[in-house]
Amino acid sequence: MSQTFRYPEILDIARREGKVTVEGLARHFDVTLQTIRRDLTDLADKGKLERVHGGAVLPSGTTNIGYEERRSLKAEAKRAMAHACAKEIPNGVSLFLNIGTSTEAVARELMDHENLMVVTNNMNVANILAGNSGCEIIVTGGQLRRADGGLVGNLATETIRQFKFDLAVIGCSALDQDGDLLDFDIQEVTVSQAILRQSRKTFLVADQSKLSRSAPARIASLAEIDTFFTDHPLPNDLVAACDTWRTNVVVTR
């Protein structure tokens, strides 16, 4: 297989997994390690990937991956994380679900829950849960972000400040090695920070690929999260930090 045919598949694997390794790609394509190193160097030179020790990751940047592409990435992992998260959400609570494809997956797992009051700034979440007659839905209002159905801005933030939620389920665009939750849109960050302040308990749902990405705006630390649902074991340093912060980590595979 020529590099012309390998490149799209390498990039597809990187988008799904957040990272590619030289050894893994060499086995996948049945080529030499040196061939893959040349491929990754070429893709890095084109700005498609960033080289790291032993492989490459998606490039850092200031803009997020497109919504439809994000929706299809790691779909099975998102379903597993969402299922585990929904099992920890009791009936009869007030709940906030924010913007993101992972929180939308959680909404789909709540279709049999009863007596929920769900507040959301995600039009997709509202449409999903409209099918659950045991769920009262409140939409925050705000400026509509057509790309993903999110509602952001001052009106969304002010609406959130009128509530005290039993539980909030949030996502993030990236998670760095210090345990900081990151995002691309400063307006969305402001909304997410308001959600955390107004919630008695907080859940984060984020897959492994978020650890290989970067975003410019800080939401909060994992220290402010009660339970983190993810699809792959965390690096040892971050496990130790979560233990110190008493942040529970649930790994689904």
Q: What angle do CA 19, 209, 185 make, to 5 degrees?
A: 120
| pTM score of the predicted model | 0.74
State which CATH number among 3.40.50.1360, 3.50.50.60, 3.30.70.100, 2.60.40.10 fits the domain covering 67-251. Answer: 3.40.50.1360
- Residue 173 phi/psi, 5-degree rounding, is -85, -25
Cβ-contact 37, 56 below 8 angstroms: no
- Residue 41 phi/psi, 5-degree rounding, is -65, -40
List the domain boundaries for the chain.
3-57, 67-251
Residue type for position 27: R
Q: State how far the Cα of 242 lies from the Cα of 99, in Å rounded to an integer.
A: 24
Q: Which of 237, 235, 192 is nearest to 217 (CA)?
A: 192
Region 3-57: CATH code: 1.10.10.10
Q: What is the dihedral of CA 235, 241, 242, 245, to 10 degrees?
A: -170
Give the containing element (helix H, strand E) for 221: strand 217-221
Q: State how far the Cα of 97 lies from the Cα of 39, in Å rounded to an integer.
A: 40
pLDDT tens track, the chain, 253 positions: 566 688 988 988 887 776 789 999 999 999 999 999 999 989 888 878 878 788 887 765 544 445 555 555 567 889 999 999 999 999 999 999 999 889 999 999 999 999 999 999 999 999 999 999 999 999 999 988 887 889 988 999 999 999 999 999 999 988 998 999 998 878 888 999 999 999 999 999 999 888 877 788 999 999 999 999 999 999 999 999 999 999 999 999 7
Give the β-pairing of 217-221 and 180-183. antiparallel
Sheet holding 55-57, edge to edge: 19-21, 55-57, 50-52
